[in-house]
Structure 1
């Protein structure tokens, strides 16, 4: 498997945060991940987050995305409604050995962090050509 679909520790963190916060407003990054040819594409929704507030790191086979969104309210504001999550968000993806994390690219467009991770050359299917040498049948006749 190339991307871990379920991380029990992450789910436990989400449930704990939900219970302690007392609301359904979790600090998550909705994600879409797919394979297209020889590359994996990952899109993470980060509305209202600037490029300077996003950190993407890879260590061994773990890709970590951290983002920070500050609240709009400033000191002295009279907040009427505050339903937007703010603070620090993080998401980890476990990359398979068949991916080339050294060639990972990332860009932020319209509040969506787009990651592209190519399949490593060694993992791509390759055609093996047959040699023109005649096969000896001496071993087969004995």
Structure 2
């Protein structure tokens, strides 16, 4: 028992004698000074009833004391789906089946009789008739 306690004392002395590299002091801004964007690819809110992310983080108790640089900041889906090209169909009815019915996207039939693209209400993909390709491009 005595031998183990002596070994422990020697190990702790060795650990305490190690020197760590010095780093620059970390200065933290208060939450009021930090300007928070809605998303990396979005500056403003996309709905009039939506509160801005900046307002929510500064007023909600949930975010007090959190380092916001380490929080996830996903891309805004509304802008990402707008970058998708229009899918041109030979028929007047487009079928959007999504990825999986169990994820909440059922099979949807979209009427393409109008001279404008039809949009899926679940995923936002746009469909149009093949003969409108020159007009919409």
Output the TM-score relative to the length of structure 2: 0.24
The one of the two structures with greater contact order (alpha-carbon pairs below 8 A, sep at least 6) is 1
Greater CA radius of gyration, 1 or 2? Answer: 2
Larger helix fraction of residues: 2
Larger strand fraction of residues: 1
